Copies of this chain bind each other. A is one copy, B any other.
Amino acid sequence: MNQEDAASNLHDEIKISTKEKIFNASVDLFSLRGFSDVPVREIAKQAGIREGSIYNHYKNKDAILDAIIDYFKKELGQANLPDEETVSLMKEGPEVFFTRGAQIFLARINTPQFGKIWRLVLMESYRNDKVREFFKKDVLEEPLAGWEEVFKLMIEKKMIKSVNPRTLAYEYWSFVIFLIFDYSILNYEEDFESYLERGIDKMNHHTQLLLEAVKIKDKQSTLKF
């Protein structure tokens, strides 16, 4: 326990409501073993209550999953850069734009909860219609459209060659999704934070290669990896 936690326990005790305990226990268990493989009784046990109490706070088991997805959706929406910042960051040139942009984005989603819920979302997208719809819309389609705009703008500003911006958006975002996927299946036992650190390196490699393919200058730069 670090100093801050100790202090807050002594003087400023943080009350975790029963509802939050249920929520947190569910995130832990669902993300590890999947929604349908976790009995309500086990959620209660992990939350330190009895199974009946859960129904004082959530209509049923499904409502817990719904709440988790809603929470994630909200948090994810707040992690995006506002448009003005996007435009001003672009003036620094494409390399800086992507490097800094990824840094800022990752810094905002860097909590252990996020790593767990990512895994949960990917898992349940296969079995739950609502989760799949969320994934399709909020994680794939909207970001893809956003990145398409970014690349279109870069082309207009002659920062990169005129290549179909849809293709570029796909190239960029599919790699992000792959990294999330890779984490969620193979590296979820690792700290989300330490995975993100390695992820940002991989992302930079990828972006550098992508820019190398679409850069306008004639001289070939030496790739540094």
Contacts and interface: CB of A to CB of B under 8 A. Distances in A.
A164 B208 CA distance: 13
Interface majority SS (helix, strand, loop, mixed), chain A: helix
A145 interface: no
A205 B167 contact: yes
Assembly stoichiometry (copies)? 2
Contacts of A113: none
Interface stretch (A53-61, A84-92, A170-178): A170-178
Interface in A173-215: 174-175, 177-178, 181-182, 184-186, 202, 205-206, 209-210, 212-214
Given A171-B209, A213-B210, A223-B163, A177 B181 contact: yes
Contact of A37 (B127, B136, B185, B186): B127
Interface of A: 33-34, 36-37, 119, 122-123, 125-127, 132, 135-136, 140, 161, 163-164, 167, 170-171, 174-175, 177-178, 181-182, 184-186, 202, 205-206, 209-210, 212-214, 218, 220, 223, 225
Given A127-B33, A177-B181, A209 B213 contact: yes
A202 B132 contact: no
Given A178-B178, A212-B214, 8 more contacts: A34-B36, A163-B209, A171-B209, A174-B178, A175-B178, A177-B178, A177-B181, A218-B218
Contact of A164 (B174, B185, B225): B225
Nearest to A173: B178
